[in-house]
Structures are given as structure tokens and as C-alpha cells.
Amino acid sequence: MSEQRLTPPLTIFHDASCPICQAEMEELKRIDDEHALELVDCSVENFSDARCAEAGLSQKELMSALYVVDRDEHWLAGPDAFAEIYRTLGLDRMARLWGRGWWRPLINLGYRLFAISRGLLAPLGLDRVVRWMVRREAQAAARRSSACNVD
């Protein structure tokens, strides 16, 4: 994972026309008690955003990967962006999954393959799997946090 840490709030540019992507963003926003995330759907017709334009990002580029920018205009994309989003929400296991380890080259490859083929994968019900995974991790993080507060 990039060593750069972003400063919330994080603005997430995502493709809400993808059921899998939208499901994950909805679940992340649902557990965002600190209002650290702002979701922006970059799939809308004639999408325009001044920060994206200033960063040189076209709608086509934004639709090819998830992008996140913090309040200081630091940008991350793809697996680095996911790792930072999960870290910001306190879901450290998911952040580590996306961000570090010997498997990072596999994560990068898998992410690129997913981004290319997500239209074919969406009808398989992966949106439900993603919702379940995020909810499960959020519940586990809450239990770990509660256990730490008791000790």
C-alpha cells in the first residue's frame, strides 16, 4: 500500500451504474459514523468535477478504477484507494488485505481483471457477497473495538 495517509473527509469517485461497486459504496457509507466519506457517482451523463479536471482525470479514467481524493487534494486509485478507505473506517483487516503483503501483485491483477469484466460479473449476485463481506468485517471490527474498551 502507498505509505501516504489521506486526511478525511475522503471523496470517492465510483461507478454507481455497476451494481457491485454501488453495493460496496452503500455499505461503506452505511457504516461511516464519522462522515469521513463523500460518494460521487462518476457514471452520470456529462459528468464534470473541478478537482478531477485539475488532476487531469477524465470520466473514462474515473470509470476504469475507483479514485479517492482527500481534503488536501492527495489522490489514490484502485487497491491503494480501497486500502485507504477501509483504514479510514477502522476496518484494518480489509485495509491490510487490499494494501500489503506478498499477495499485492495478485490484488493488483485481480482488480484490473475485475474492472474490465465487472459487467459480466454483476449478474452473478456478487453485489450481495460484497455487502455481506463489508457488513461482516464492520461487525468484527466493532466487536474488537468493544473488547479493547472493556480491557
Rg of the chain taking only CA atoms, in angstroms: 15
**Mean pLDDT of the region 52-57:** 96
- Report the alpha-carbon distance of residue 151 to residue 14 in Å, rounded: 39
pLDDT class of 147 with cuts at 50, 70, 90? low
Q: Is the pLDDT of residue 51 over 70?
A: yes
Mean residue pLDDT of the chain comes to 91
- Report the alpha-carbon distance of residue 68 to residue 6 in Å, rounded: 9
Comparing 61-65, 73-77, 97-101, 111-115, the range with the smallest average pLDDT is 97-101
pLDDT class of 145 with cuts at 50, 70, 90? confident
- Residue-wise pLDDT for 118-140, tens only, equals 988 889 999 999 999 999 999 98
Q: Is the pLDDT of residue 1 over 50?
A: no
User: Cα angle vertex 31, ends 111, 27, to 5°?
Assistant: 45
What are the CA-CA distances from residue 78 to residues 72, 114, 137 (Å)? 19, 11, 20
The residues near 52 (Cβ < 8 Å, ≥ 6 apart) are 13, 42, 58, 59, 62, 67
Per-residue pLDDT at 52 = 97
